Amino acid sequence: MEQSYGIFLYIISLATMGGIYAMLTLGLNIQWGFTGLFNVGIAGFFAIGAYVSAILTTPETTRHLGGFELPYILGFSASMVVTALIAWGVGKVCLRLRSDYLAIATIGIGEIFRLVLKNETWATNGPRGVSMIPKPFESLAEPYNQLMFLALVLVTVVVIYLLIEAACKSPWGRVMTAIRENEPAARAAGKNVERFRMEAFVIGCMIMGLAGAFTAQYLKFIDPNATELTTTTFLVWVMLIVGGSANNKGAILGAFVMWTVWSASEILTSRLPDDMAIRTAYVRIFLIGLALQIMLQKFPGGIIPEKRPKPSRSPE
Amino acid sequence: MAVLSLDQVVGGYGDTQILHGVSMHVDEGEIVVIIGPNGAGKSTVMKAVFGLLNLSSGRVLLDDNEITNMPTEMVVRQGVCYVPQTANIFPSLTVEENLEMGAYVRNDDFRPRMAEIYDLFPPLLEKRKHPAGTLSGGQRQMVAMGKAMMLEPKILLLDEPTAGLSPKFRGEIFSIIRTVNNAGTPILMVEQNAKQALKIAGRGYVLVDGKNKFEGAGQALLDDPEVGEMFLGGGSHKVAS
Amino acid sequence: MIALMEFINFYLIPGVVLGSIYALGAVGITLTFGILRFANFAHGETMTLGVYFTWTLMQITPFHPLVILPASMLLTVIVVLGIDRVFYKPFRASPTIMVVMASFGIMLMVRSIIQFIWGVQLKGLVPGIQRPMLLFDSLRISPKHMVIIASAVVLVLAIHLLLSRTKIGKAMRAMSDSPELARLTGIGTEKIVMTTWVVGASLACAAGVFLAYDTHVETMMGFKLLLPMFAAAILGGVGKPYGAIAGGLIIGLVEELSSYPWIGTEPLLNPGYKAGVAFAIMVLMLLWRPSGLFRGRVF
């Protein structure tokens, strides 16, 4: 009984984190899948959202900027707004460059945010991070608090999914695909490519910021390690590639599947003796990387490949 | 005897067929010009020779040896050199280094050949230590052709050597082409400035929709009323689009 | 006078040392960018790998790191060529972004293997602290720094000779200028690609070892250098090895000099943000002149 209840709670937490990752993959899918923007700064935008929400909702403390004690809904909204603004600034500089440059620039931005979080101790409490973040529904009894939070996450994922699906089917979405497939033609047709790119970039980052806010509220704690490249940026990429980029169902599926694999493998390695456990944790990263390479080479479409209007691409 | 000959060549990129049966030949010492409207497949013929195109049927022969669908590097080694329309020099390499690259597949001493090229194009000797990208348009074209000639090719393919140049430069380029040809290299070239090109050419081919339409001596084509009507613009030069 | 000496000893010389390390690393980045046409995110890990090979060889032999360097360069080159064969080569004809993604995966795979094999604790390449040598009364330069600068000069000279005097080096520059024309000229693409990996990996290994020699050995050291190296390559103009060397030196110097108290007594920039300097230079460069100081390729 005890044990099955523990498993029940574990599944809830698995689904909650899976849902948060699904937000990240959906955000990335708008950028990469539909528009072809190679953003490897996910961790940075995730961290902005997390810190904004954390600072706005925590009770007063001398350790960091805060004490606003705002309701979490406002925390979530603010995190999206701030992330969007910063993404807009980043986009202004980087989006007109070729994909490789965007990758370099965004990975740099992730690192810069990490520096700011570490150094601006007055606002972020530096490496020690922000704690005591209120969690929605925490006043409810277990497991209802956990279930309600999960419900909130899942509802958010569904809403984001429906919004993106609607957007993709709209003329806006068709222009996006046209730009990705054949930019010169889209340009020749009088489409403002820069504006569409910017919109996709900002909206995607906004969703990443929201995912960050959810994580902060869920874990009740956030520190600069949240900007860690492996678990935030890299894992999200692998999730999207595995699930199937340019397909929203694939993005969500990839998030849940890969998070389950990632999380379950942690249970296995944590059973090992300490020294071994630390080392095998790296093997997990290696295997995830290998999975990415295999997907790229053998199944570039992912589990649920993109539905394309035309069966084949025209030759270059 | 034909140095280069194409026999009923059919091919294109992927599923798109561009050449629907092109036949032509270039003899020793000749200048042969290919003219035709845009999209007729003129440049594609050059790519077909150069292994850059998938040929589904037909044959390409060099001195009676088959080079159909041979990889580019091998075609170069067989003695065919190709000067593309744009990006035909290495701008950050010096003039001399460009010539050396032209001789990349040679393993013997190419210095005598380089001296010959400098004799042919004296301005290059003067600028040999300058990055090729800093030269004038005409001099760049000399580098491009000089580089191609380093191999002492059996035949030189030129893709629209005068495209985008002013009339003054065009004349300069045509005289360079004649110089190269007089030095013994047969030339097959695609040219938009058909009138001028046909004047220096021994023979010409008119290509339409990936097929031969007319062929004949340069002067004969110039005098042909139908060709004149179609491609020579009734006296005024048609500038490449 | 004392202030000047302090400036030279504590800011200028470390800046040159760091700049030389960036320069060597950036040459590989820029050559890969120019010749294989992609931003290699795994380049930092190539460095780290070279460092750990060196560290391991030093545990089993009594030699100085510089003596071991050629051997660890060779090992690094072998691994990198293997990675190219298995993970990058299948994408030669694909859109570049596929290779970039593959390199991103390689970055994490190589790092995790290093962490698995060698662990994450700090190690020293050479034990103890060396006392700086005093030259001309007050110019202090540690023997380590002299070794690093001298070796970097030798390596830069070697690259220069390779690129300007040998057939293959010229062909590399030619291919970096225009891969299409290089192919039409009969330059064997795969051979140049291999040479690029050999040169890039060797220099990365050397740069990593110099950094470890100056500081310590750790698994994230290569990744921390990735951004400054990219910045150096972009500053110098992508595809321009000489530009990358200049870019590396500039970025190393600016990073170190940014924390000099130019105004008042406080460091101009909080040293915690030193790592952001390279990024700032890169962004400014992309805005102002994306082709770089030496007119490289713009994508």
- Out of C39, C115, C227, the one facing A111 most closely (by C-beta) is C227
- Out of C91, C106, C286, the one facing A97 most closely (by C-beta) is C286
Q: How far is CA C252 from the centre of its chain?
A: 11
The pLDDT of residue B89 is 95
Q: Which of B53, B72, B92, B151 is the best mutation test for C, with the most CBs of C within 10 A?
A: B92
Instruction: Label residue C134 by pLDDT band (50, 70, 90).
Output: low
pLDDT at residue A43 is higher than 70: yes
Over residues C66-84, the mean pLDDT reads 97
Binding-site residues on chain C for chain B (CB distance < 8 A): 167, 170-171, 173-174, 176-178, 180-188, 240
Instruction: Label residue B235 by pLDDT band (50, 70, 90).
Output: very low
Over residues C143-162, the mean pLDDT reads 93
Which candidate, C252, C232, C229, places its Cα nearest to that of C293? C232
Instruction: Write the CB contacts of A309 (distance below 8 Å, at least 6 apart in sequence).
Output: none
Instruction: Label residue B189 by pLDDT band (50, 70, 90).
Output: very high
Which candidate, A58, A67, A20, places its Cα nearest to that of A42? A20
Whether omega before A143 lies within 30 degrees of 0, making that bond cis, reads: yes
Contacts of A99 in chain C (CB under 8 A): 96-97, 100
Interval A2-40: pLDDT, tens: 788 888 999 999 999 999 999 999 999 999 988 888 899
* d(CA B30, nearest CA chain C) in Å: 23
The pLDDT of residue B168 is 81
- Choice between B238 and C105, residue whose per-residue pLDDT is larger: C105
A97, part of any domain: yes
Residue of chain A nearest C269, judged by CA positions: A119
Interval C222-242: pLDDT, tens: 999 999 999 999 999 888 899
State whether residue A315 sits within 8 Å of chain B by CB.
yes
Domain count, chain A: 1
Q: Do C283 and A38 touch (CB under 8 A)?
A: no
Q: Delineate the domains of chain B, giving CATH numbers in brackets.
A: 1-79+157-231 (3.40.50.300), 82-152 (no CATH)
DSSP 8-state code for residue C90 = G
Contacts of A315 in chain B (CB under 8 A): 13-16
Over residues A45-71, the mean pLDDT reads 86
- Out of C91, C113, C119, the one facing A286 most closely (by C-beta) is C113
- The pLDDT > 90 percentage for chain B reads 42
A276, part of any domain: no
Arithmetic mean of pLDDT over chain A: 87
Contacts of C106 in chain A (CB under 8 A): 289, 293
One-character DSSP codes across chain A = -HHHHHHHHHHHHHHHHHHHHHHHHHHHIIIIITT------HHHHHHHHHHHHHHHHSPP-SSSS------HHHHHHHHHHHHHHHHHHHHHHHTTS-HHHHHHHHHHHHHHHHHHHHH-HHHH-GGG-B-----TTTTSPTTHHHHHHHHHHHHHHHHHHHHHHHHHHSHHHHHHHHHHH-HHHHHHTT--HHHHHHHHHHHHHHHHHHHHHHHHHHHS-B-GGGG-IIIIIIHHHHHHHHH-TT-HHHHHHHHHHHHHHHHHHHHHHHTS-HHHHHHHHHHHHHHHHHHHHHHHHH-TT-SSPPP-SSSSPPP-
Instruction: Label residue A310 by pLDDT band (50, 70, 90).
Output: very low
A297, part of any domain: no
Find the range with the poorest average confidence among A276-280, B172-176, C28-32: A276-280
Interval A223-280: pLDDT, tens: 888 778 788 888 999 999 999 888 999 999 999 999 998 888 888 777 777 777 777 8
- Out of C174, C181, C187, the one facing B84 most closely (by C-beta) is C181
Task: Write out the H or E segment, with its range, that includes residue B57.
Answer: strand B54-62
pLDDT at residue B128 is higher than 90: yes
Q: Do A280 and C113 touch (CB under 8 A)?
A: no
pLDDT at residue B233 is higher than 60: no
Give me the residues of A, 79-138, that contact B with CB < 8 A. none
Instruction: Label residue C280 by pLDDT band (50, 70, 90).
Output: confident
Q: Do B87 and C180 touch (CB under 8 A)?
A: yes
Name residue C190's amino acid.
E
Instruction: Label residue C132 by pLDDT band (50, 70, 90).
Output: low
Name residue B239's amino acid.
V
Neighbours of chain C (3+ CB pairs under 8 A): A, B
The fold of the C2-288 domain, in CATH, is ABC transporter involved in vitamin B12 uptake, BtuC (1.10.3470)
Find the range with the poorest average confidence among A18-22, A149-153, A197-201, B166-170: B166-170
A187, part of any domain: yes
Structural domain that includes position A109: 2-227
Instruction: Label residue C135 by pLDDT band (50, 70, 90).
Output: low
Q: Do C186 and B77 touch (CB under 8 A)?
A: yes
Arithmetic mean of pLDDT over chain C: 89
A98, part of any domain: yes
pLDDT at residue C154 is higher than 70: yes
Instruction: Label residue A314 by pLDDT band (50, 70, 90).
Output: very low
Instruction: Label residue B205 by pLDDT band (50, 70, 90).
Output: very high
- Choice between A103 and A203, residue whose per-residue pLDDT is larger: A203
Over residues C104-123, the mean pLDDT reads 92
State whether residue A311 sits within 8 Å of chain B by CB.
no
Beta-sheet strands, E only, within B125-165: 155-159
pLDDT at residue B75 is higher than 80: yes
Q: Do C273 and A115 touch (CB under 8 A)?
A: yes
- Out of C39, C272, C275, the one facing A111 most closely (by C-beta) is C275
Contact A193/A183 with Cβ under 8 angstroms? yes
pLDDT at residue C298 is higher than 80: no
pLDDT at residue A112 is higher than 50: yes
Q: Do B92 and C240 touch (CB under 8 A)?
A: yes
A252, part of any domain: no
Task: Note the residue count of chain C.
Answer: 299
